Amino acid sequence: MARPSRRGSLRNTHKYSWISLAVCWLIWILNAYDREIILRLGPTISEQFDLSPEAWGVIASLIMLSLAVLAIPGSTLSDKYGGGWRRARFQVPLVIGYTALSFVSGFKAASSHLIAFITLRVGVNLGAGWGEPVGISNTAEWWPKERRGFALGVHHTGYPIGSLLSGLSAAAVLAMFGPANWSYTLFLGLMIAVPVMIFWGRYSTADKIDTLYEHISAQGLTPPDRDQVQVRANGERGPIAACFRNRNINLTALTTMLTQIVYMGVNVVLPAYLYNVVGLSLAESAGLSVVFALTGILGQVLWPTLSDVIGRRTTIVVCGMWMAVSVACFYLATSSLLVVLIQLAFGLVANAVWPIYYAAASDAAPEGAVSTANGIITTAMFVGGGIAPLFMGKLISLSGGWGERGGYIVCFFVMSGCALFGVLLQLFTERPKHDSAQHDESASQESVAQ
């Protein structure tokens, strides 16, 4: 007798799961917009302060590396505070706090002084880096484990949307108000964050989580772990040490770091390439550098959902090889049309991999330490994001500066190599106990036996 899929039907998903996903998706759009807008404005900021490629690389690296500082300790703190509805309450002041700092950084008093602006942006990213694994864990804890890839994939479509909005916003502000008023783009986040987070804080209750988990169990699916993290498990290692001793979490974190070097490298290099080599204006280069977000939205639903079926590792390997080839193809991007076409191909995997990495870490995490495992992935990602601007700026400087095409080509091929190395690391991971593909395979075998 045939048995139903362990992934279940989306039509039977409880409304609480969908509402939580919508809220976390909006938060993710704000996170992406606020982070990416600085990269879209890279050529504009470099011109205003007369920065060399290496100097801009150092500044962008400092800002991006600050995202990594609080990811692990902050996510562990949220684990101790509690999962589910408790984690949602934990998230509210965090998101409002760092979007408020971003709002302040948009005023001319801050944006016209480089040191003050950098200091505020570091503060913003300290909070955003802390909030990222918290928000991802929040998403995972309102959905059954078998639908985790889909949920995190839909959640992460907020990133290419936020990235696309950052490019459109930068292009609009630069065209309407001129390059001197680029900081106007930083006022948007707080105005959306406050009402969204007030609703989220009131909506997240223990009763809703209890009702949701009972519904998930009634569907024959696996609800997320209710257990709070144990500071010491049976007198042995704590959650951070337990996660770091897990091979899958470690290797996935390294793959994440390498992939982020690719993704952030493209975000740093492409606007400058379009402005300095292709010959577009500052507004045009900001707008055209986010075309990959269009296909990124599709990819972030397609690939993570597929990972629920064929497994995380297989999906990561396919996406990594696709990324390596598409980034190398930027060598051919000598016109605006080719830039668009290559970006559309790159976009199909560029944003898709992050929810798969987080799903893989969540699958492998010790009980009650989902956010800690995600914090390790987040830290690795932001370390890669911090390395990329400095590394790419150095490569461009060594090859003759902003105006020389050769330096950009070197960057594209180096990024392609990083993507391939990340694929290689995945070959040494193991299938975790909660792999939904494994569940379906077991169910199929039992059906044949009956």
Do the Cβ atoms of 390 and 61 come closer than 8 Å? yes
Contacts of 124 (CB under 8 A, 6+ apart): 34, 98, 99, 101, 102, 105
Token pair belonging to 301: 């639903």
Q: Angle at CA 126, nearest 5°, toward 125 and 127?
A: 85
N residues, the chain: 450
Region for 230 from its dihedrals, namely left if φ exceeds 0, alpha if ψ lies in -120 to 50, beta otherwise? beta
Mapping DSSP onto H, E and C, the string for 331-394 reads HHCCCHHHHHHHHHHHHHHHCCHHHHHHHHHHHHCCCCCHHHHHHHHHHHHHHHHHHHHHHHHH
Cα(65)–Cα(27) distance, integer angstroms: 21
Helix (H, G, I), strand (E, B) or coil at 219: coil
Q: What is the CA radius of gyration of the chain?
A: 21
Could you state, in order of their start, the residue ranges of all structural domains in the chain?
11-221+239-449
Going by C-alpha positions, the residue among 98, 248, 107 that lies closest to residue 181 is 107
Do the Cβ atoms of 228 and 355 come closer than 8 Å? no
Contacts of 258 (CB under 8 A, 6+ apart): 384, 418, 419, 421, 422, 425
Q: What is the mean pLDDT of each run of 10 residues along the chain (450 residues)?
A: 50 90 92 85 87 85 87 84 84 93 91 91 91 85 86 85 85 88 89 93 92 92 67 59 91 96 89 83 76 83 89 95 95 83 91 88 83 87 87 87 86 96 94 54 43
Q: Angle at CA 32, nearest 5°, toward 200 and 330?
A: 155
pLDDT at 435: 52
Cα(249)–Cα(87) distance, integer angstroms: 22
pLDDT at 370: 78
φ and ψ at residue 245, rounded to 5 degrees: -90, 0
pLDDT at 448: 39
Axis crossing angle, helix 247-273 with helix 370-398, rounded to the nearest 10? 40
Tens-digit pLDDT profile for residues 120-142 = 999 999 999 888 888 888 888 89
Sign of CA dihedral 55, 63, 394, 178: negative
Cα(77)–Cα(81) distance, integer angstroms: 6
Going by C-alpha positions, the residue among 118, 113, 78, 89 that lies closest to residue 101 is 118
Distance of CA 182 to the CA centre of its chain: 25
DSSP H or E stretch at residue 108: helix 108-111
pLDDT at 450: 44
DSSP H or E stretch at residue 322: helix 312-328
Q: What single-letter DSSP state applies at residue 223?
A: P
Helix (H, G, I), strand (E, B) or coil at 125: helix
pLDDT at 416: 96
DSSP structure string for 33-97: HHHHHHHHTHHHHHHHTT--HHHHHHHHHHHHHHHHHTHHHHHHHHHHH-STHHHHHHHHHHHHH
Distance of CA 50 to the CA centre of its chain: 30
Going by C-alpha positions, the residue among 333, 12, 327, 296 that lies closest to residue 156 is 296
Going by C-alpha positions, the residue among 204, 130, 160 that lies closest to residue 374 is 130
Token pair belonging to 262: 């690719």
Cα(341)–Cα(345) distance, integer angstroms: 7
Domain 11-221+239-449 has CATH 1.20.1250.20: yes
Cα(42)–Cα(368) distance, integer angstroms: 40
